[in-house]
């Protein structure tokens, strides 16, 4: 069975109460439940994780090797700063879809830069919590195409 890691970075544990006007009112637990239900309809299993620590996120990406076929990553603020996460993604060679609840391109200038984007299959941002389930569909489609091409 296809298995996905859905990985969330710093401050995303506070979703629901953290700047709801920017990030919405949905909690991370609700996003996890939506992802689990959506993945089930696709016959996919998910592991949902959150950490406020950059090194812990790097470790979780490393540990995905051999276990997960794809990663959905909302790296939070580390998106804009972390060469370590970029290197980790490149090292494990697992396809990554980058997700953001807010539209990072319509906010402060420093949020337009993503260290994840150059090594991601694609980016979904600005659509709120639905971005995670769209990312499940996107990675499902990507993995199907990869196996169809024998890659």
Q: Would you call 23 a catalytic residue per the annotation?
A: yes
Question: Shortest Cβ distance from residue 121 to ligand DQA (Å)?
Answer: 17
Per annotation, catalytic residue among 38, 68, 78, 100 = 100
Q: Which phi-psi region, left, alpha or beta, contains residue 66 (left: φ > 0; alpha: ψ -120 to 50)? A: left
Minimum distance between the CB of residue 104 and ligand DQA, rounded to whole angstroms? 5
Q: Which residues contact ligand DQA by CB under 6 A? A: 11, 74, 76-77, 79, 100-102, 104, 111
Q: How far apart are CA 97 and CA 123, in angstroms?
A: 6
Task: Return the DSSP state at 82.
Answer: -
For ligand DQA, the closer CB: 65 or 112:
112
| N-terminal to C-terminal alpha carbon distance within the chain | 18
Angle, helix 54-63 to helix 83-92, in steps of 10 degrees: 10
100 is catalytic: yes
In angstroms, give the least distance from the CB of 1 to ligand DQA: 28
Catalytic residues, which ones? Answer: 23, 100
């Amino acid at each position: 069975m296809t298995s996905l890691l859905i990985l969330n970075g710093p401050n995303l544990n506070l979703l629901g109460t953290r700047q709801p006007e920017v990030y919405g009112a949905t909690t991370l637990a609700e996003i996890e439940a939506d992802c689990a239900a959506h993945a089930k309809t696709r016959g996919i299993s998910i592991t949902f994780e959150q950490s406020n620590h950059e090194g812990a996120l790097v470790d979780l990406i490393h540990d995905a090797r051999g276990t997960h076929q794809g990663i959905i990553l909302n790296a939070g603020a580390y998106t804009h700063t972390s060469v370590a996460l970029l290197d980790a993604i490149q090292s494990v060679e697992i396809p990554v879809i980058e997700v953001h609840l807010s539209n990072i391109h319509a906010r402060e200038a420093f949020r337009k830069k993503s260290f994840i984007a150059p090594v991601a299959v694609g980016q979904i941002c600005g659509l709120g919590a639905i971005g995670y389930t769209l990312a499940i569909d996107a990675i499902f489609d990507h993995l199907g195409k990869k196996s169809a091409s024998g890659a």
